[in-house]
Structure 1
Amino acid sequence: MLRALPVVRSPPRAWCWARWVASSGANRSKKPRPDARYRETVLLPRSDFPVQLPGRLQPETELEIQQKCGFSELYSWQRQRKTKQEFCLHDGPPYANGDPHVGHALNKILKDITNRFYVMRGYKVHYVPGWDCHGLPIELKALSEFEGTQHLSAMEIRQRAKEFAQKVIEKQKSAFIRWGVMADWENSYYTFDKKYEAKQLSIFHQMYDKGDIYQDYKPVFWSPSTNTALAEAELEYNQQHISRSVYVRFPLLKPPPKLASLIDGMPPVSLIIWTTQPWTIPANQAVCYMPNSEYSIVKCTDTGERFIVAADRVQSTAAILDTEFDVISTCKGVDLESGTCSHPTIPGKQSPLLPADHVTMSKGTGLVHTAPAHGMEDYSVASLHQLPMDCLVDEGGLFTEAAGSELQNKAVLEEGNEMVIQMLQAAKNLLKEEKFTHSYPYDWRTKKPVIIRASKQWFINTANLKTAAQEALKKVKCVPASGMNRMLEMLDRRTYWCISRQRRWGVPIPVFYHKTTGEPLINRKSIENAIKIVEQHGSDAWWTLPIEQLLPSEALAEVGAHNVQDYVPGQDVLDIWFDSGTSWAHVLKDVGERADLYLEGKDQLGGWFQSSLLTSVATRKKAPYKTLVVHGFTLGEKGEKMSKSIGNVVDPDVVINGGNDHSVDPPYGADILRWWVAESNVFTEVLIGPAVLNSAREDINKLRNTLRFLLGNLADFNPGTEAVPTAEMYVIDQYMLHLLQGYANKVTNAYKEYDYGKVIRLLQAFHSRELSSFYFSIVKDRLYCEEEKDLKRRSCQTALAEVFDTLVRSFAPILPHLAEEVFQYLPYRKDSVFRSGWMNTSPVWKKPGLEEAVEGACAMRDAFLGSIAGKNALEHEVILVIEPGLLFELMEVLQQEESSSTSQLNEIMMASQTSLLTEVPRDVAAEENIIKGTFLINLEGGDIREESSYKVIVLPAAKSKCLRCRKYTADSPETPCARCMEILAGK
C-alpha cells in the first residue's frame, strides 16, 4: 500500500532563496561580510521570469503571448495533423442578443480546457463555434433600439434583427478569442446562414414525412407581452407571484342519478371549486372529480346551504370560508357521474360533472373547474368527452367579442380578472376571494406573466418519440450523473412540443394557407421547393419572392388545387429550440453527425440537449452526442444573483483589463478567469466576485514562484546532453520522479472525467507540498553549493527538468498564457507547449520501495524538526538509532556511512550532520533528550509489513558555521568546510 507523502513543515529559519540572496551580497552595510568573498562561488538560481505581473503587465503579456505563440493558428495546425484520433465537442450556440458575460466565460473556458487537453493528447479536435441568431430575444432587443416599430414590415423587422445579431456576434467573438478560446473562428456557424436554414428545413421535412410534426388546436403557453406561443424551455417561474384566487359556487342543476334519491327534497346543492385564475371561469365547460376519492354532502351551519366537496377537504374548505360544515352523507367520486351544474357567470349554460385523474386532494376542494382552452389537463378531458374548446382570449391577452360585451377587450390578467370576479359576485356565486402566493410561469425575456391559451399551432408529437429518446439517452454518459435523471424525467413529462412562433425573425414553417378556408397546404413537393429556395436565397425569400415561386404547381396538384393565388404563405416561424436543435445535422456533417461531447449549463437539460436529442432520434434513431457535461449558473460570491441594482455584476472585460479605477477593479488578465472556472465546482452554482478573483491571483502567483525556482535552477542545464540516467540518479531525485508519475496519472484521469477542480487541487498540493515545502527545501545545498557539473547536482537538475515539463503541461489547458509564457524563459526549449504534446512520464519512475525509504526518513525528520521549533535545523546534529531490520536497511540506502553531512539521509533531515546507528551511544546524557517513534513499512502490496521503532537524538552542532554553505561543518569559523574547500580548489 502506497501512502501519500506527509505534510512537511520547514523550520522557521530553514533556507530559502531570498535568504540565500540576502546572505550573498544584498546586504548593503558598509562593513564587508566575512563570507562576501564566497558569494560568486555559490550557484544561485538565475531567471528573468517575474514572480508577479503587476498592473497592466498581465493583460499586455497575455496579448503578446497570443501573438508570439500562434494562438490564432493553433486550431488549423492541429486539424492538419495526420492522426486517426478525433475528438468532437459540438458548441451549443449562445444567443446573439447581448454583451459577453461571466456565464459565457464559464461555458467557453470549460470547453477550451477540454479541447486543449485533447489537442495535447494528440487528437484532432473538431470545435466549430456557433451563434443562435433567430428568435424573440434578438427581435425584441433589435426593435427596442427604435421607435414606432409596430408599423414595420416583416422584412424591415428581419433586417434590423439580423444587423443587431451580427454586431453582437462580433463583440462576443472578440471576447471569446481574448479569453484564449481555440476554435475554428473562420468557419463559425450561424443559424441565419442559408445552408444552415436549408438543413434545418430538411430535418423538418423528414420529421413531417414520418408523421412526427402536425398542426392542431391546443392550449399552449402564451406570452401576451410578446404575442407568441412559448415552449417550456422559454419560461422561468416566479416563486413569489400573487394571484387573486377564488372559491366559486357551481349550483347543481341535474343531480347525479346515484345521488338523486338522497338529494331529492333537500334545499339547493352546489359544488365548490377553487381556482387561482378567475379569468378562465367564462371558458368553463365542466367540473372534474376524482373517481376513486370520497366526496361529502355537507350543510353549512351558518346559512343551511348544502355543498359537495371532497371528504378530505371538508374541514380545510370550511376554515377558509370561515364557517363550519356538518357532513350529511359521503359517497364515492364515481357516484357523481352524469350530474350537471349551472355555469356560475353565464345563465342557461351547463357544466357537466366528469371524472379526471389530474384532480388532486392536496389543495382546493377536490373539484376542479375545467376550461379546455386554458389548461393542458383540461384539454385532455375535453378531447375525451368531445367538449367545446373555444378560446375567448386573443393574442394580446384580451377577451374577445365571444366573451361578451362586459369582458371584450379587457386584459385577462388585469381588468378582465377583476370583471369576472365582479360577475361572480353579482350572480351570488363568489364564496371567497383571497391573495395566493405561488410559483407561476413568466416569459423569460419580458419577465411578465404568461397564460395558457388554445390556438392553432404546429407540434412535434414527442409522445411518439419519448421511448426511443429515453433509450438513446441511456447509452449516453452524463457528468454529473444526476443530470441524466433530470433529463429522463423531463422527457417523461413531455407529450408534445409546440414549434411554431408568431414572430418574423426566424426560419419560416413551410406551409401555405387557403385564403378562404384557412386549410393548410403542406406536402413533399412544397417543402422540397422551400428547401431549394432557402438554400439559394436564404429564408428572407419567404417574404420577398412571389407566391408563384414559393408554391410549385406540383404541390398544388397533390391537393387538387389549381390557382396559386388562392394561397398565402404561412407567417409562423420555427421555435429557436428547433433552430439550434438541428445544429448537429449541419455542423457535424464531417464527423458522422455525432459529437463526443455536448457541454452546457443545466438549463439545457430541457433546452438544447433535449431538442437535439429529439430531432436526432426522430430522423436517425440515435443521440447526437456520446457524453453530456452539465454545469451550473454563475452567482455573486455570496451566492446571490447578479444584478446591476445590487452592483455585483462581474464583467469579464473589466476582470481582464481592469475598470476605470484600478485600485477598485485591477486588471487580472484572462488566465485569472480561466483559473476561476477550473477551480470552481462547476457542477453546482459557481460563485465569483472580488474575493474569489484575488484568491485566484494569489494562487497563480504562488505557482509562478514555484516555476521561477525551477527555471532559476535549470539556467545552466541542458537535459539533451547533461541529464543523468534514472538508475544513476540520487534516491531522493528518483523518489521525486516516482511522485511525479503518480501526479501525472491522477491529473490525466481528472481531465478525462472533466473534473478540472480536481486538477487544480492536485496541482496546488503537488507544487506547494511535494515541491516547495519538501523537495526544494532539501535540495538547495546540492544545487547551490556542489560543483556545477557534479553528478549529485546534475541528478537534481534532471529531476527538476522533468518536474518543470510535467508541471507546465499539467496546467497548460487551464492556463495557456502562463504555460506559453514560462516556456519562453526555458533556456533549452523554445517550442509551443500545445504543439509538443502531453505530459511524458515513464513507468520506470514508479518505485514504491523508494517511497517507504524516503517516507521513513521524513517521519524521523518531522520528529527532529518538531523538537526544535523556532530554531535553525543547521545548528544541530541528529543521531538516528534503529534496531537492525528492514527500516535500518532502508535508511542505509540513503546513507552508507555511519555519519555524514552530505548524504541523502542528511539532506532529508536538513541538519548539519546525521548519524545512523543501531544503539544509543553511551555518551548521550539524559533519556529525556531521546524522541521515540515507530514507522510501519508496507511493501509488495501488503506482503511485506513490518512496524519498526526508532529513536531520534538531537544534539547541538559540534563544528563551526561554514562561510560558504552555512552548514555547521567547518573546523574553523574563518575557513569553509572540507566539502566547500575541495570545490573551491577546483575553481
Structure 2
Amino acid sequence: MFRAWRPPPLAQARIAWGWSRHAASESRQPAAEHDSPYRDTVLLPRSRFPAQLPGRLQPETELETQQKCGFSELYSWQRQRKTKQEFCLHDGPPYANGDPHVGHALNKILKDITNRFYVMRGYKVHYVPGWDCHGLPIELKALSEVKGSENLSPMEIRQKAREFAERAIEKQKSAFIRWGVMADWANCYRTFDPEYEANQLRIFYKMYDKGFIYQDYKPVFWSPSTKTALAEAELEYNEQHVSRSVYMKFPLLKAPPKLASLLDGSSPASVLIWTTQPWTVPANQAVCYMPDSAYSIVKCTTTGEYFILAADRVESTAAVLDTQFEVVSTCKGVDLIDGSCAHPTIPGRVSPLLPANHVTMAKGTGLVHTAPAHGMEDYSVASHHQLPTDCLVDEGGFFTEAAGPELRNKNVLEEGNEAVIRMLQSAGSLLKEEKHVHSYPYDWRTKKPMIIRASKQWFVNTASVKAAAQEVLKKVKVIPTSAVNRMLEMLDRRTFWCISRQRSWGVPIPVFYQKNTGECLINSETVTNVIKIVEQQGTDAWWTLPVEQLLPKEAVAKAGGKDVLDYVKGQDVLDIWFDSGTSWAHVLEGAEQRADTYLEGKDQLGGWFQSSLLTSVAARNKAPYKTLVVHGFTLGEKGEKMSKSIGNVVDPDVVINGGEDHTKDPPYGADVLRWWVAESNVFTEVLVGPVVLNAARDDVNKLRNTIRFMLGNLAGFNPETDSIPAPKMYIVDQYMLHLLQDYGSKVTEAYKEYDYSKVVRLLQAFCSRNLSNFYFSIIKDRLYCEEEKDPKRRSCQTVLAEALDIVVRSFAPILPHLAEEVFQHIPYKKDSGGVFRTGWINASSAWKKPGIEEAIEGACAMRDSFLGSISGKNPLEYEVVIIIEPGLLFELMEALQAEETSSVSELNEIMMASQTTLLTELPKETPTDANIIRGSFLINLEGGDIREESSYKVIALPVAKAKCPRCRRYTSDSTSTPCPRCLTVIAGRGST
C-alpha cells in the first residue's frame, strides 16, 4: 500500500519544509527480460514515436510537422488573441546581398526562441521581419552581373540593384521559414518600400529642423575604390598594411622668437617630420607640436645642420637616420610659438608651427605634418587657426589638376605617393624612406585601402546628441552587461556621423541646390512635397521626375528664390545605417514606438543599435528599445574564422538537408541547428562544425529516448479519469512533482533572461539525472508488473504525464518541430491545439514540498551506499538491511516503509533491491563477515532551524528467495512460480 506524505512525528509540530539537495544517483535498475510464459501479462511500453529519425526522415518529418501543425498560421493566430500583454521584438534587418548563412541562423533562431516563449506565456507578440535593401554592397554585386555597367544610368543601376535585393530576400526568407521562424512572412518590411522611405525622410527632416543634421566641408573617411564617403562603422582595419613612411625636413623660415638666439641663421635649421602618408605632403598647411612636451635643438654631427624634434625622440630618430645628434638646447613646446617653416615641395608656401593636443610621442619625431584636408585632428587645427582646407584629391583617389603637372591624375596610394617621395628627394628634404607595417582602415566591402579626404557632406552632429543618448542608454537593460560599456565608449568617441553617400542605390537626401551659388534649399514645404511623392511612387521619382514636380514654387518663393529651374536636385543618398536606424519609426506600433527587445550581433554596438539610438534620441529624446541582447559571431569549431579556402564554412541548408555525400554531410534537420544555437554560450563567440553538430544531434536523440519512455508508458492512461491526486501519491512521486515545479520555475527564469544555454543545461540535467537515471530506473517494476489500473501504477503515470507535458513545453521554443511531433503521439491528446496554442508550463505551486526531499534523498544516500557495496552487480540479487538509531531520519524512512521487512514498500522501490529491512539496531544474527557500510545524512528543515545529522548502517546480503519468472525480482518460492505480488496481478487480470 502507499499513502499520503506525512511529516514524521518529531517534526510535525514545527516543520515548514525547506530547500535541500537533489538526488543524483547514477544507478539504474536493469530492464526486465520478458521472454517467459508470463510475457503477455507484463505491461511493456507501447508507442509509435521513433527513438531516432535517420537520414532523410528527420528533415522530411519536420516539413510534415510544419504543415500539419500550422507553423505558417501561428503568428497570425496569436496576433488575434484578446490579451493586454504584448511583447515586441524588433527585427534588425539582415542585409539583402547574399545567400543565408550560419550567422543568419544564429540570429534568427535566437529571436524565434524568444518569440515562441512569449507566445506560449500568453503574450501577443509583435515581430515583423525586415531587410536592409539599399547600399553599396548590393549595388556592386548587382553591377558585377552586368557587362558595361559603368555606362548605366542611375535608374538602370537602381533597377538592377532592386532586382538583386529582391532575389536575395526571397532566398533568405525561404531559409528562415524552413528554420521554423514564426512570422507573418507575407507582411515584412523592406527599406526600399515607399512607405518606409517616406517615414525615413520624415525623421531626416525632423532631425534637420532640430539642428542635428547639417552640411559641411571637412575630411571624412573616403573609399577611392567605390568613390564614396563611408562611416567609421563601415571600416575594417588591416593590421598588416604596409605604408611607405618617410623622415623629412621642413626648413625653418622664421625661428621661434624664444629660440632666435640659438638659431641665428649661421647654419641651416629645420624641423624633423615623420609620416606614413607622403602623398598628403602637398596639402600641408602647418607643423604641430605638443605645448607641454620637451623639445630639443640638436646638431647633426655629420652635416652640421640643426634640427628641432621632441626630446624623447632624439636617440631613436638618430638611430633610424644612422647618424648622431648633439643636443644643443632643450625647451618646452610652447617655446616654438610664432615659428614657421618652408613647405618642402611647394615654393613660397609657409607652414606655421602650431600647438595641438593630438600630437603624441609614441612614434615619429614629436612634430606632426598637418594636412587639414586629410586628417580629422588636422582639420580641427585648421579650423581654429583659419588655415585653408584645400583638397587636391578627387573621388577616385587621384591628384587633381590643382596638385600641379607632376602629380595630376596620379593615384595617391600608388604612383602619386612615389611622385611625392621623388619631389621630396629632389628638394633635398627627404632624409629616409622605409616600409612601415601598421593598422590601416580598409573599405569593408571592397577590401581596399581608404583615405581621409575633405569633401562637402551631410552629417549628424553626434557631439550634440550623444550625451542624451548615453543617459538614455544607461536606463536600457543590456545582456550581457559588459556590452553597455563598449557602446558607451563608442558613443563617446563619435563626434560626427557622415550620412551622405555618393551613390544611386539609396534614399535621396531631399535637398535642392541653387545652380549658381550651390546654396542648399530644404524646408518643411520642400520635404513635405517630396514625401508625398515618395509615398505614391517610391524614391525612384527623385531620379525620374523633373525638378519642377519635386520642388514647389511656393517653397522657392518662401526661400527668396525666383524660379524653380534655378535649382537642381542633390545627388547624394543617405547612409544605409540611417536607413535601418530609422526602422523604429516605421515598424514599431503605438504612441511609445518602443520595442521590448533588440537582439543582434556585437557588431551592431557600433551599427544598428547605435544608429537606432541616435536617430530616436535626436527625434524624440528616448531610446527605441527597453532591452538590448548582444550575441557573438560564429566561428569554426576550433575558434577560427570561416573560410571557403579552409573548408570550414557551415551552410545551414547543408546542415538541414545534408550535402551531396550523406556520409560526410548528413541531414540533421532544423531542430539540430536550433539546438546548437540554444546550447551555445551566445554571449561569446559561437563555435560550429561537424563535431559540434554531431554532438547536438546526439543530445536531441537522447531527449527523444527520454520522451519515448514516457510516451510508451502512458499508453492506456487518461489524465482526466486516471490521475491520482498529489496527496495520495507515492512519496517518491510527490517528490518528482516537487522537482518538476522547481524545474519549471528555473527554466522560465532562464528564458526571461535570454539564457537559452542555461535552459538546455537545466533540461539535460533534469532528463538525465532526475528522470532517466533516478525516477525511470525505480518505477519500471511498478509500470511493467503492477495491474494496469492499480493506483500505485496510476500514481507514477500521473507523474509521467505531468513530466512529459512540462518537459516538452520547456523545450518547445527551442525544438518546435520535436515538440509538435511529440504532441501528435501523446495517446490521450486528441485534436489538441498543439503545444504553442495551449500555453506555457503549468506546474502547480501545491507540488512544492521541500520536506519530501529529506525523506527521498536520505533514502537515496543509503541506496548509493548499498549499490556502491555490490560494485555494479544486480541489486535484485540482494536484500538490504538498513540500521538507523531512533530519531528524525528513522521516522523519515519509516514513512517510506511501515513494515520492518518489505519487498513492495516505497523504500524498497528506491533501494532497487528485492527486499529491504528497516531496523533501529544491528541484528544479533548478523554474519561476522558481513560488509557493513557506514554513512551519515544531514537533515536540514525549516530553513536550518531543524538540523540533525544521523548516522546509518547498510548491509547487503545475498537474497534467499528464488527469481520470479514474471517480474525478475528474487521474491518467489520457486523459479517456476510467480511471486505473491505477481500471482495476485495475474489472478486479477484473469478475472477482468
TM-score > 0.5, shorter chain as reference: yes
TM-fit CA distance, 1:70? 0.3
* Contact in 1 for aligned 2:34/2:966 (Cα 8 Å): no
Question: 1:926 deviation in Å?
Answer: 2.6
Comparing 360-369 and 227-236, the one that deviates more: 360-369
1:10 equivalenced with 2:27 (yes/no): yes
Please show how residues 719-758 of structure 1 align to structure 2 within 5 Å: 719-758=719-758
Q: Does 1:267 align with 2:267?
A: yes
User: Which deviates more, 296-305 or 913-922?
Assistant: 296-305
Alpha-carbon distance in 2 for matches of 1:203, 1:221: 25
Equivalent position SS for 1:715: coil
Paired letter, 1:353: L
Aligned positions of 1:427-442 closer than 5 A: 427-442=427-442
User: Shift of residue 524 of structure 1?
Assistant: 1.9
- Residue 624 (structure 1) aligns with: 624
- Counterpart position of 2:15: none
Paired AA for residue 965 in structure 1: C
Q: Which residue of 2 aligns with 1:801?
A: 801
Q: Work out the CA distance in 1 between the residues paired with 2:62 and 2:896.
A: 45
Instruction: Check if 1:810 corresponds to 2:810.
Output: yes
**Structure 2 Cα separation of the partners of residues 332 and 896 of structure 1:** 95
Measure the CA separation in 2 of the matches of 1:40 and 1:840. Answer: 36
> What secondary structure is seen at the aligned counterpart in 2 of 1:698?
helix
Separation in structure 2 between the aligned mates of residue 430 and residue 952 of structure 1, nearest angstrom: 92
Counterparts of 1:344 and 1:928 in 2: how far apart (Å)?
102
Contact persistence 2:220–2:455 (CA under 8 A): yes
Distance 2:78 2:903 in 1: 52
Using the alignment, how far apart are the partners of 1:891 and 1:385 within structure 2? Answer: 90
User: Is structure 2 residue 906 aligned with structure 1 residue 904?
Assistant: yes
- Aligned pairs for 1:213-362 (under 5 A) are 213-264=213-264, 267-362=267-362
Cα deviation digits, residues 328-367 of structure 1 (max 9, x gap) = 2111111111110111221221111111111111222111
Partner of 2:775: 775
Correspondence for 2:935: 933
SS at match of 2:467: helix
Q: CA deviation at 1:217?
A: 0.2
Whichever residue aligns with residue 461 of structure 2, its letter is N
Instruction: Could you list the structure 1 runs, at least 4 aligned residues long, displaced by more than 6 angstroms after superposition.
Output: none
Bigger drift between 775-784 and 922-931 goes to: 922-931
Counterpart in the other structure of 2:644 = 644
Q: How many Å separate the matches in 2 of 1:538 and 1:268?
A: 66
| Structure 2 residue matching 1:953: 3-state secondary structure | strand
Q: How does 1:876-915 map to 2 (within 5 A)?
A: 876-915=878-917
Say whether residues 1:921 and 2:923 are aligned partners: yes
Q: Which runs of 5+ in 2 are unaligned?
A: 1-17
Q: Which blocks of at least 5 consecutive residues in structure 1 are unaligned?
A: 26-35
User: How far apart, CA to CA, are the structure 2 residues paired with 1:927 and 1:429?
Assistant: 102
The yes-or-no answer on 1:759 pairing with 2:759 is yes
Q: Secondary structure at 1:98's aligned position in 2? A: coil
What do residues 496-516 of structure 1 show as CA deviations (whole Å, max 9, x unaligned)?
111100000011001112222
Alignment partner of 1:479 is 2:494: no
1:579 alignment partner in structure 2: 579
2:34 alignment counterpart: 24
Corresponding residue for residue 969 of structure 1: 971
CA drift of 1:324 comes to 2.8
Question: Equivalent residues in 2 for 1:530-679 (5 A)?
Answer: 530-590=530-590, 592-679=592-679
Whichever residue aligns with residue 248 of structure 1, its letter is M
- Alignment of 1:103 onto 2:120: no
Shift of 1:319: 2.2
Indicate whether 1:46 and 2:46 are aligned.
yes
Separation of aligned partners in 2, 1:691 and 1:815: 20
Residue aligned with 1:197, SS: helix
Deviation at 1:591, TM superposition (A): 6.6
Once residues 717 and 390 of structure 1 are traced to their aligned partners in structure 2, the CA distance between those partners, rounded to angstroms, is 86
C-alpha change, 1:428 and 1:928, in structure 2 (3 Å) is: farther
Q: Which residue of 1 aligns with 2:162?
A: 162
Alignment size in residue pairs: 970
Partner Cα separation in structure 2 for residue 145 and residue 804 of structure 1: 54
> How far apart, in 1, do the equivalents of 2:344 and 2:686 lie?
51
Q: Deviations over 1:117-143 (max 9, x none)?
A: 000000000000001111111111111
Aligned residue for 1:976, secondary structure, equals coil
- 1:92-140 CA-to-partner distances (Å, cap 9, x unmatched) read 0011100000010000000000000000000000000001111111111
2: CA distance, partners of 1:127 / 1:7: 41
Cα distance in 1 for partners of 2:509, 2:750 equals 45
- 2:930 touches 2:955 (CA, 8 Å); kept in 1? no
Aligned to 2:853: 851
Cα pair distance change 1:917/1:949, threshold 3 Å: same
Q: CA deviation at 1:649?
A: 0.8
Letter paired with 1:99: D
Determine which structure has greater relative contact order: mean sequence separation of CA pairs < 8 Å that are 6+ residues apart, divided by chain length. Answer: 2
CA distance in 2 between partners of 1:689 and 1:867 (Å) = 43
2:260 partner SS = helix
Q: Secondary structure at the match of 1:945?
A: strand
2:37 aligned counterpart, secondary structure: helix
**Between the two proteins, what is the percent identity of the paired residues?**
78
Residues 788-810 of structure 1: CA deviation (Å, up to 9, x unaligned): 11111100000111100000000
CA drift of 1:241 comes to: 1.3
Describe the shift of the 1:282–1:928 C-alpha distance in structure 2 as closer, same or farther (beyond 3 A): farther
| Alignment of structure 1 residues 394-433 onto 2, 5 Å | 394-433=394-433
Deviation at 1:943, TM superposition (A): 0.7
Paired position in structure 2 for 1:29: none
Deviations along 1:447-490, whole A, 9 cap, x unmatched? Answer: 11111100000111111101111111111000011111111111
Q: Give the Cα–Cα distance (whole angstroms) in 2 for the partners of residues 83 and 113 of structure 1.
A: 21
- In 2, the alpha carbon distance for the partners of 1:432 and 1:845 equals 82
Task: Deviation per CA, 1:934-984: give whole Å up to 9, x if none.
Answer: 111111111111111111111101111110111111111221111111111
- Structure 1 counterpart of 2:250, one-letter code: F
How many Å apart are 1:927 and its aligned residue?
A: 6.3
The offset of 1:300, in angstroms, is 2.5
Counterparts of 1:324 and 1:829 in 2: how far apart (Å)?
92
SS at match of 1:593: coil
Q: Secondary structure at the match of 1:693?
A: helix
* CA distance in structure 2 between the aligned counterparts of 1:344 and 1:925, rounded to whole angstroms: 107
Deviation digits for residues 223-276 of structure 1, max 9, x if unmatched? 011110001111111111111111221122111111111222552222112211
How many Å separate the matches in 2 of 1:724 and 1:928? 41
| 1:134 match | 134
- The residue identity in structure 1 corresponding to 2:424 is L
Q: Distance in 2 between matches of 1:577 and 1:177?
A: 26
- Which residue identity lines up with residue 24 of structure 1 in the other structure? H
Q: Determine the C-alpha separation between the residues in 2 that align with 1:137 and 1:672.
A: 32
Residue number in structure 1 paired with 2:707 = 707
Amino acid at match of 2:681: N
Query: Match of 2:840?
Result: 838
Deviates most, 627-636 or 250-259: 250-259
Structure 1 residues 553-591: Cα deviation after superposition (integer angstroms, max 9, x where no partner): 111112221122221111100110111111101111347
Q: Aligned-residue CA RMSD in angstroms?
A: 1.1
The whole-number CA distance in structure 2 between the counterparts of 1:892 and 1:315 is 88
The answer as to 2:489 corresponding to 1:494 is no
TM-score (ref. length: structure 1): 0.97
SS in 2 for 1:296: strand
1:464 matched to 2:464? The reply is yes
**AA at the equivalent of 1:263:** L
Secondary structure, aligned partner of 1:937: strand
Aligned to 2:112: 112
